[in-house]
């Protein structure tokens, strides 16, 4: 149960995020059979790597391309936010942000992006890995569903292969979901 006092809530969510990212690190390391993978927060190191590694490689007009420094600032006030930076050694391979619903319903992932450098070490593993982290956090919070809000059309086949279904077309904004 989530504490009601603001200071207790901050501590609760901080510790829950830490535990979820540690569990996701263990799961992804086991699946990929490597100890080079680690999940962290979108901190100053992640933003520095995003600036140095991603920005020069991003093609104007291609999907994604969020300003992660601006997004981090915008999401800082969301105490229960989901945030994850996926690393393989010194290479930042993926970033994701989202927030839990107020009740037991779901965790909504609003932004998810992989490193645009074609040869990064977790190519074709970023979405699956970040969604492991989101699932760990959602389960730790007692959520029953994971949602991907406004998924890019080109990513739908990837999400479907990972077990997600597209919500009814009336849903606004559109989203994919998987239930636990």
Residue 78 has pLDDT above 90, yes or no: yes
Q: 6-179 falls under which CATH superfamily?
A: Gcn5-related N-acetyltransferase (GNAT) (3.40.630.30)
Its sign, for the CA torsion 5, 143, 113, 95, is positive
Q: What is the pTM of this model?
A: 0.93
Distance CA 93, CA 95 (A): 7
Sheet with 175-179: strands ordered across? 37-40, 82-88, 91-100, 106-114, 145-149, 175-179, 165-166
Q: What is the pLDDT of residues 50-72, one digit of tens each?
A: 999 998 887 766 667 889 999 99
What the block records as the tokens of 114 is: 């992989």
- CA distances from residue 121 to 10, 92, 155 in whole angstroms, order as listed: 34, 9, 19
Identify the pLDDT of residue 6: 67
Tell me the average pLDDT across 23-39. 98
At 101 the three-state DSSP class reads coil
What are the structural domain ranges in the chain? 6-179
Give residue-wise pLDDT tens across range 119-150: 999 999 999 999 999 999 999 999 999 999 99
Closest by Cα among 152, 96, 156 to 126: 96
């Amino acid at each position: 149960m989530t504490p009601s006092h603001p200071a207790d809530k901050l501590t609760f969510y901080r510790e829950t995020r830490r535990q979820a990212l540690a569990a996701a690190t263990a799961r992804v390391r086991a699946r990929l059979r490597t100890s080079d993978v680690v999940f962290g927060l979108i901190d100053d190191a992640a933003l520095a790597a995003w600036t140095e590694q991603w920005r020069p490689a991003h093609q104007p007009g291609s999907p994604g391309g969020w300003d992660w420094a601006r997004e981090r600032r915008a999401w800082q006030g969301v105490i229960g936010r989901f945030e994850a930076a996926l690393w393989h050694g010194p290479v930042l391979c993926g970033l994701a942000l989202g927030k839990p619903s107020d009740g037991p319903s779901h965790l909504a992932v609003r932004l998810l992006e992989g490193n645009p450098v074609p040869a990064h070490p977790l190519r074709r593993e970023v979405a699956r890995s970040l969604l492991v982290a989101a699932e760990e956090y959602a389960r730790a919070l007692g959520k029953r569903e994971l949602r991907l809000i406004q998924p890019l059309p080109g990513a739908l086949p990837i999400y479907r292969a990972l077990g997600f279904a597209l919500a009814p077309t009336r849903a606004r904004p559109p989203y994919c979901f998987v239930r636990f």
